[in-house]
Amino acid sequence: MDHAPLRVALLSYRAHPEVGGQGVYVRQLSAALVALGHTVTILAGPPYPDPTPGVDLVKIPSLDLYRPEDPFRRPRLAEFSDAIDVAEYGLMCTGTFPEPLTFSIRAARFMRRFSASFDVVHDNQCLGYGLLDVVKRVPTVATIHHPISIDKSLALRDAHSALHRLGQRRWYSFVRMQARVARRLPRVLTVSDSARDDVIRDFKVTPEVLAVVPNGVDTELFRPVPDVVRVPGRIVTVASSDHPSKGIGHLIEAVAKLRTERSVELVIIGKGGVGRSVARSIERFDAGDWVRTAGRVEALEMVRLYAEAEVAVVPSLYEGFSLPAIEAMSCGVPLVATTGGALSEVVGLDGAGVLVPPADAGALAGAIRGLLDDRSKAQQMGSAGRARVEERFTWRAAALGCVEQYRKVIAGC
């Protein structure tokens, strides 16, 4: 078997860790690949990532139309440099999310000049039409964390009016492109058996080109902190977005039920905690005094918040994998999660967490109550969760799995 170091181009239209799990994936996978002796260059659009030492970054500029401080902004005329910029702004004005398409075209333009510099291209769920040009020049694989068609379905189900549904259909119109591109790739990676089944069903990808390579977690960073005292009644969750699929409203309802019998509080980490739907749930359950929205926090602060919690909860209606689940488990925090998507597969059935049906506030409340009432069980669960992560979910293992697939697609070209 060939063990020569590979030159990897890792493409991601949004790769900053603050944008969510895909940004974490790019940063941690690239670092793990370099640690194995490979060369990695990240091609990313704004907001640009800050790669770990040894990882190169090529910035792929865009109009950056969705800046957190100025979303859906109107660029100055001087900012437009080519037809791609015009298309990007025009598509945004019609309610479409253009970044997967326009980033892929810009990345393809770069690869036409520098394709000889790379042995393999790894696309991180961009799946834009430009990738089809890249495939002609360099062996290419793509990771699909889960098909965004599932997010679209959940958003349409949550829409409160015909106009809202129309807007959601328009926003998610890029999903059809992603499915078409995925079906034409020589190798597609996904992160769980559940996500694999979803990709086959929704994107009609041939099973033979699919491979499962689970995500990992930095077990040196996300670890138990024995000198931090757990706060009685503290519950923690992570919401990387305000999307209905994250199930935060159901968790707030569950904690409201628990508040009728005991003193508990909920800490929500992540940008989703300061979104409009969470705010509506806080208002609905008069939860302002016992829900704390921490927003985005540094990794060390996240570890401290995990360490202070008696229970961590992943209330998602669907997850293709769930980094928050394995982060909590890696920190040794007793975990309650739903069975949505891949969560049953990630948490497992060997005592590393309690699983309940999705969208069931009563079941969430009962599972949390059980762990708060049984500290011995909670402690055993925290230890079992840490052991499961160390055995199955490290970034080194993820990198080794990706390299195996890189070599297969290179050999087939």
The secondary structure of 56-112 as a DSSP string is: EEEE-----TEETTEET----GGG--SHHHHHHHHHHHTT---HHHHHHHHHHHHHH
Burial bucket for residue 397 (CB in 10 Å: 0-12, 13-18, 19+):
middle
Is residue 2 predicted with pLDDT exceeding 90?
Answer: no
Q: How far apart, in whole angstroms, are the C-alpha atoms of residue 128 and residue 307?
A: 40
3-state secondary structure of 52: coil
For residue 225, tell me if it sits in a domain: no
Same domain, yes or no: 128 and 92: yes
**237 - beta bridge partners?**
268
Q: Does 1 reside within a domain?
A: no
CA pair distance 242, 240, nearest whole angstrom: 7
What pLDDT was estimated at residue 18?
A: 66
Give the mean pLDDT of 382-395. 97
One domain, residues 332 and 357:
yes
Q: Which helix (H) or strand (E) holds 250?
A: helix 248-259
Q: What confidence tens digit (pLDDT) does each residue in 269-326 have?
A: 988 777 788 889 999 999 999 999 998 889 999 999 999 999 999 999 999 999 999 9
The domain tally of the chain equals 2
Please say if the pLDDT value at position 16 is more than 90: no
pLDDT for 109 equals 97
Mean pLDDT of the chain: 94
> Is the per-residue pLDDT at 362 higher than 90?
yes
Pair 242, 320 in one domain? yes
Strands 39-44 and 7-12: parallel
- Phi and psi at 228, nearest 5°, equal -100, 130
pLDDT digits (tens, 9 = 90+) for 97-110: 999 999 999 999 99
- Other Cβ atoms within 10 Å of 80 Cβ, number: 14
Do both 275 and 388 map to the same domain?
yes
Question: What SS3 state is found at 410?
Answer: helix
Containing structural domain, residue 282 = 234-392
Residue 56 lies in a domain: yes
Domain assignment present for residue 227? The answer is no
Q: What is the pTM of this model?
A: 0.91
- Cα(232)–Cα(265) distance, rounded to whole angstroms? 9
CA 51 to chain centroid? 17
Instruction: Round to the nearest angstrom and report the end-to-end CA distance of the chain.
Output: 16
CATH number (domain holding residue 384): 3.40.50.2000
Q: Do 13 and 103 meet the contact criterion of CB atoms below 8 Å apart?
A: yes
Going by pLDDT thresholds of 50, 70 and 90, the confidence category of residue 19 is: low
Q: In this structure, are 211 and 246 located in the same domain? A: no
User: For 242-253, what is the mean pLDDT?
Assistant: 90
Do 177 and 267 lie in a common domain? no
Clarify whether residues 203 and 270 are in a common domain.
Answer: no
